[in-house]
Amino acid sequence: MSAPLPTNLEKGTSLWKDAWHRLFQNKLAVLGLFTVLFIFAACFIGGPIMHWMDIDPNKQSLADKFAGPSGDHLLGTDQLGRDFLVRILDGGQISLLIALLATLATVTIGIIYGGIAGYVGGRLGNTMMRIVDGLLAMPFLIVVILFREITKPRIELIGQFLIDEWEWNRDLVLRFSNILPLLVAIAAFGWLTMARIVRTQTASLAQQEFVEAARSLGISHTRILFRHIVPNMLGPIIIYATLTIPSFILYEATLSFLGLGIEPPNSSWGTLIKEGANYLETKTAMILFPSILFSLTLFAFNFLGDGLRDALDPKAAKD
């Protein structure tokens, strides 16, 4: 005879539900989340809508140059009479795309590299991390600039090959071969911190009973690492990834501002700010609008990242 089960059991909450709840208690984080969503919607939905409405970012009209805001051009026009709003939204697409893809790449590389180093441990693991330490000691911006210079001509060659031999869409290939060198360079040196975080976590998780249990069941090492250990550190990974995005947006803009990132005919927030700096006195709006959107994005991502840290990792939360 078993005792009757109590019927009014309190429903337990999962870690993620709990974190989600804590995140929504944090006003700044919620504000950041909605600002991020709004900016993404503006760039990736609003931009195409404007194109569809026949507002072309490349249509020049010198008669309309430096026009103020009007019904035709909501934010006015630039030095060549191009609609400024659509240029900012298109530039945002590139800035955000680079940051997102680079983050995705660095997280992937970081998990694989750091995971293996932490799981294997011993001499090999240590050597792997010494390499990371050495690379981390290099000044990031300088090595990224140099690395981009190496990859750029090679990527352009491949792009030309795809156009000539495989008859890929010329515009699309040129657009991507213009973005790719910067993306590759940032990703090539951006995964180091992620690898460090993952290694520390893996090394401590690998000692725990559930890993031993999995091993005694004969599960392969690869499967243990990526199906049992890695899912247990999604929290720190998500936090770090969220804080990586704004730093990559910043790097992209810095390099583009120096003329070592995105190049014409493409534009990003960095190139728009650079252009705007040339017309600082004649038309302040040209530097103001992209700067505002750019800084707003950084603020939003940072607030969201801080909020996620507080929500997912209550121990590390600042008191």
Q: Which residues contact 23 (CB under 8 A, 6 or more apart)?
A: 29, 30, 33, 307, 308, 310, 311
Residue 149 sits in the site that holds other proteins (CB under 8 A)? yes
Residue 317 sits in the site that holds other proteins (CB under 8 A)? no
Identify the residue among 250, 263, 266, 313 touching other proteins (CB under 8 A).
Answer: 250
Residue 31 sits in the site that holds other proteins (CB under 8 A)? no
- Other beta carbons within 10 angstroms of residue 50's beta carbon come to 19
Residue 126 sits in the site that holds other proteins (CB under 8 A)? no
Residue 134 sits in the site that holds other proteins (CB under 8 A)? yes
Beta bridge partners of 83: 77
Residue 319 sits in the site that holds other proteins (CB under 8 A)? yes
Identify the residue among 23, 97, 109, 143 touching other proteins (CB under 8 A).
Answer: 143
Residue 259 sits in the site that holds other proteins (CB under 8 A)? yes
User: Would you say 54 or 319 has its CB closer to other proteins?
Assistant: 319
Identify the residue among 153, 218, 231, 264 touching other proteins (CB under 8 A).
Answer: 153
Residue 124 Cβ, how far from other proteins at the closest point, in Å? 21
Residue 246 sits in the site that holds other proteins (CB under 8 A)? yes
Number of residues that bind other proteins (CB under 8 A): 40
Beta bridge partners of 77: 83
Residue 248 sits in the site that holds other proteins (CB under 8 A)? no
User: Would you say 168 or 279 has its CB closer to other proteins?
Assistant: 279
Instruction: Kindly tell me the sign of the dihedral angle through the C-alpha atoms of 268, 274, 280, 282.
Output: negative
Site of interaction with other proteins (CB under 8 A): 134, 137-143, 145-147, 149-150, 153, 246, 250, 253-254, 257-260, 270, 273-274, 276-277, 280-281, 284, 287, 291, 294-295, 298-299, 302-303, 318-319
